[in-house]
Amino acid sequence: MKLNTRLFLAAATACVLVSCGGSSSSSSQAPDYEMNYTVSEVTFDMVKVPSGYFTMGLSQDNRQKVSGSTIHPVALDGFVITATPVSQALWTAVMGSNPSSVQNPSLPVDMVSWGEVHKFISKLNKATGKTFSLPTEAQWEYAAGLQGKDFVSVAEWMEDTFSDLPDSFVVNPATPKPADHKVVRTVKDRLEIDSHTKKAGVGFRLVQPTGEALSESLLKVLDGASFDRETVDASDGGSETFTVGDVSFKMVKVRGGEFTMGYSDKDYSFGRFAIPENEKNFHQVTLSDYAIGETEVTVGLWNAVMGYVPYLNDINEPLKPVGNISWFDCQKFILKLNALTGRTFRLPTEAEWEYAARGGSKSRGYGFSGTNDMNSSMWYVDNADMKSKNVKTRKANELGLYDMSGNVWEWCFDRAADYQKTPQTDPCGPSEGTSRILRGGSCASRWDACRITNRSYMLAKNIKGTFGFRLAI
């Protein structure tokens, strides 16, 4: 991937930790695994799965929910998993017999109960001197998503006892307390089957830990209680251009200052429009200098960084804002972008977003970003046909920022909370909560959702075609 060499000058950039709460940690395990094994002349291969984050309960193209599952973000330490389900040949080599419904040594073993699988694993561990186990449901689904079509699967036993899944962020989810009903998984379905049941077409895989623990940086951004901030000097105004691959994007410097956040009598009234209650606790906010994206993150930039585009995004429309991403997906993108550039990109705080949308120190008091004329400054439901448009095709605001009203909703760093009336300096929201702020409205929103002071929030795991974001430094 081509990368502008000047980006690596960022090594000398100063950073300061923003105090918005703590972060999680993970302990590593001593690795004791191999990539290939032979038992009584029967060989089987393992596939390495790196530590990382994924959205569990959702197909990898974001197209549909896994039946019987719950959509929630999960982070996992690294592990290895058998490249294919355990074969009849391997089962016979370990157990001395073949119980399968259709006898063929190269096919996956079936007609084995969860309890019998554990007897097999105990004997295999003794024969190899290693420690194998059944995969947890999270491990299995993560591996399936990474391998895609290469993950040739039957229905497969999981280690997990069947129970309701959480709907919040989980690190290395533990299996529930032992019970007779276990999880059996396919790529599309989550099934509940008694542990004593033997069924045709139900097999299993094996896993081993690799000792690769989740990185502290990943855990911190996914925990979302704090972030690192670069020191930005915006006294000279202007902007900074970055290039990743063949895609360039601009970060506009914003001179900090004091402003009234939330709706007050000084804001454009829109006639008899009733201002929502969550905007009314206006309060004074003081911000340090920062930089913010001239536009939303585009499909082209997402692809240059991540190497793919999310479902419902078209790689042939690189100038449209990327959509159909969760708050957690934003963090995954930012981590990779930071690794590529050596800089400290992040999501803007809600206060930074509103100040920039207002035009910063150059604000003229508009109700939408850059104007009071909704048709000249934004794409919304009345003129966009509910479809996002290329960035920079509407009027910029006082700071030269585009699409801060309309086109796609933009995730902010902050967790959702009511405004406090007390003055604040560089606020970044509460330290707890599962919902995050979205601002700006979208191509599918009414005009009132696109107002500068309008606030919305969603669970951080939520994905929608009109959910996008812009970067901050």
Query: Which pLDDT score, from 0 to 100, does residue 301 have?
Result: 98
Q: 3-class DSSP state for residue 388? A: coil
Query: Which pLDDT score, from 0 to 100, does residue 379 have?
Result: 97
The span from the CA of 405 to the CA of 380, in Å, is 8
Query: Which pLDDT score, from 0 to 100, does residue 30 have?
Result: 66
The answer to whether 27-213 and 223-468 have equal CATH topology is: yes
Instruction: List C-alpha distances in Å: 123 to 116, 206, 264, 391.
Output: 11, 13, 71, 60
Beta-bridged to residue 55, according to DSSP, are 73
Task: Map tokens 């299996």 to a residue.
Answer: 175
Query: Which pLDDT score, from 0 to 100, does residue 57 have?
Result: 93
Task: Count the neighbouring beta carbons within 10 Å of the beta carbon of residue 27.
Answer: 8
Angle at 94 (CA atoms; ends 92, 99), nearest 5 degrees: 35
- Strand ranges in 232-342 using DSSP code E only, listed in sequence order: 239-244, 247-254, 257-261, 283-287, 290-293
What is the Cα Rg of the chain in Å? 26
Instruction: List C-alpha distances in Å: 21 to 71, 224, 335, 347, 473.
Output: 25, 9, 19, 16, 19
Domain ranges of the chain: 27-213, 223-468
Q: To the nearest 5 percent, what fractions of the chain are helix, strand and coil?
A: 20, 25, 55
CATH top-level class for 27-213? alpha beta
Query: Which pLDDT score, from 0 to 100, does residue 29 have?
Result: 53
Sheet holding 456-459, edge to edge: 456-459, 435-439, 409-415, 467-468
Query: Which pLDDT score, from 0 to 100, does residue 27 have?
Result: 44
Query: Which pLDDT score, from 0 to 100, does residue 59 have?
Result: 79
Query: Which pLDDT score, from 0 to 100, does residue 60 have?
Result: 65
Residues 79/206, Cβ–Cβ less than 8 Å: no
Mean pLDDT by 10 residues, the chain (473 residues): 30 40 45 94 97 87 84 94 98 98 98 98 97 98 90 92 91 89 96 97 98 89 88 94 98 98 92 88 97 98 96 96 95 95 98 98 96 89 96 96 98 96 95 94 97 96 95 98
List, for residues 92-144, the tens digit of each pLDDT value: 999 999 999 999 999 999 999 999 999 999 999 999 999 999 999 999 999 99
Tokens of 368: 């939408």
Residues 29/208, Cβ–Cβ less than 8 Å: no
Query: Which pLDDT score, from 0 to 100, does residue 17 have?
Result: 41
Who contacts 365 (Cβ-Cβ below 8 Å, separation ≥6)?
Answer: 266, 267, 268
- From the options 3.30.450.20, 3.90.1580.10, 1.10.132.10, 3.30.70.20, give the CATH code of 223-468: 3.90.1580.10
Query: Which pLDDT score, from 0 to 100, does residue 13 have?
Result: 36
Instruction: List C-alpha distances in Å: 71 to 76, 162, 247.
Output: 16, 16, 32
Tokens of 92: 């016979």
Q: 3-class DSSP state for residue 197? A: coil
Residues 297/322, Cβ–Cβ less than 8 Å: yes
Residues 378/386, Cβ–Cβ less than 8 Å: no
Got the DSSP string for 222-250?
HHTS-EEEE----TT--EEEEEETTEEEE
Could you tell me whether strands 283-287 and 424-425 are parallel, antiparallel, or unpaired per DSSP bridges?
Answer: parallel
Of 333, 352, 355, give the one whose Cα is nearest residue 429: 352
Task: Map tokens 């309060």 to a residue.
Answer: 283
Helix 114-128 with 88-95: angle, nearest 10 deg: 70
